[in-house]
Chains A and B, each alone.
Chain A
Amino acid sequence: MIWLTWRQFRAQAITAAVALAVFAILLIATESHLTSLYNSNGLLTCHGDACAGLAGNFLNDLSSGGGFLFIPSTSGYAILYFVSILVILIAPAIIGVFWGAPLIASELEAGTFRLTWNQSITRTRWLAVKLTLIGVAAMAVTEAFSLIQAWWAAPIGKAVGLGGSSGVFSEGRFGVFVFPTHGITPLGYAAFGFALGVTVGLISRRPISAMAITLAIFAAAQFFTPLWIRPNLLPTSHTTTTMAAAGANVSVRANPKLTISASAVPGQSGAWIISSGGVNAAGQPVAIIPAACETAAAQVLGTHRGTSTLNSGQTALNSCVASQGIRVAESYQPASHYWPLQWAETGMYLALALAMSGYCFWRLNRRRS
């Protein structure tokens, strides 16, 4: 059975190996230059607040003219960073679509299940070997992409952690693109994508439609997880603080609605801010920009297209709102929740993968009708 699994999976395995090799070569070839940029910006020896500025310089270097093998004067690193994250993000979807969906569906469509399931081997064993071998391969490949990228992007991660931000290099490790592509979450997504494809293929019995449905469901899961699921995997913490301490900006986009975006939680460096909003001295939510700050808001709106006075106008609006006694209520996950959240999300997707596999075994043995 192992032979048959390999024989039928050979082409996909080689494709994955080639993709992984190209990915690794690109990143390995550029890693030393990336690290030397990090060092030459003085980030190895900096102390305290100085680091944030240096980190910003380093990331600016990367996104503007850091240089890169064959695109020397453009933001090659930005492209490479973005693409490498994207590859890890969509690898489980590709695995689900091209490895998972056709696994049973193509046997059902071509009728070859009649041939294989009538050899001296039960359907349970047939599926167990296929799911195990290809499932492990799926998880290994995705995690390999992730580990190589994490090694390559370590200076970028450190710089963002120090407070630097520039272009695509702005997401901390809780970011919607960074979190599901690093740590152990790629394992969960790979297992989920693969099992999803297999299950949809078994139900739909048509490889092409199974591929489309798998892609749609996986994309939906990936889209909604950071919005609805990840913030609630662990209980969130709450705090109320001043505008300044929260590093908060008042947004005028929804004027006259009061929208506040916070960038820090006092005493909780590296926390993941899930939501923030204005509250008055009594702790009641404030929905509307106070009348006293309308002028300041109008000024920000008016200068929105210009750039010179934008920052000063924004600062004026922020301090005006603060002077009205409005504080910022934040809900967040502390930095210490990074690994518990990683485990929870990975565990959730592994459990889903196992449940779907169990369903496949049950359905296969219930016998078709």
Chain B
Amino acid sequence: MRARLLAVLALLVLAAGAIVLTPRVRECPRAAPLDGLSTILAGWTDADGIPDEALPVDPSEVAAVRRTYRSGPRVAWISVALFTRQDDPQRRASINRIYAEQDVSRVERATLPAAGARPNAVVVSRRDRRVVVAYWYQIGSRTYASETRFRLALMREILLARRGDSLLARVAVPVDPDGVAASLASAAELAAALRVALLAGPGC
């Protein structure tokens, strides 16, 4: 009995030591991955600023690029936000701020008409307007659509590399009279160009 109690104590001390003595995570230089994001993406050109109600600001983001892109009559909004030191849960992107949630009557999962890596896509119905929102996460040179896979990858990154940085990229396209399919196609086109631009960026 006494030997077993001592064994339990030893295991507890080992666990406490592992928690206390592990070095803290390193922080990505602010805004480094967002530097130089092109103002022209696959024929879409930008104008600064987007309405908050289209893509809400997350108070945990340490840097962000938020732009309106236009291509002929089509309009789209993008937001790319950097989150650092996410071993602290308070510094993570909130899933409540991916899209505006107030007065939303319906959120429907959608699939973007794109080959290869597909981001998450939802059609958000809010009062008499609808918006397609596509979003994904990026850690280093890898992108993740699944929240679960992203969290697992972030855990691995924090544990093994002691880094806790990621980007949350979002593209919002208002649903036009041509229907959801046209808006999904626009979102897919801009999301693919944005993904390539972010992967080619300087990273952390």
Are A and B physically bound partners?
no
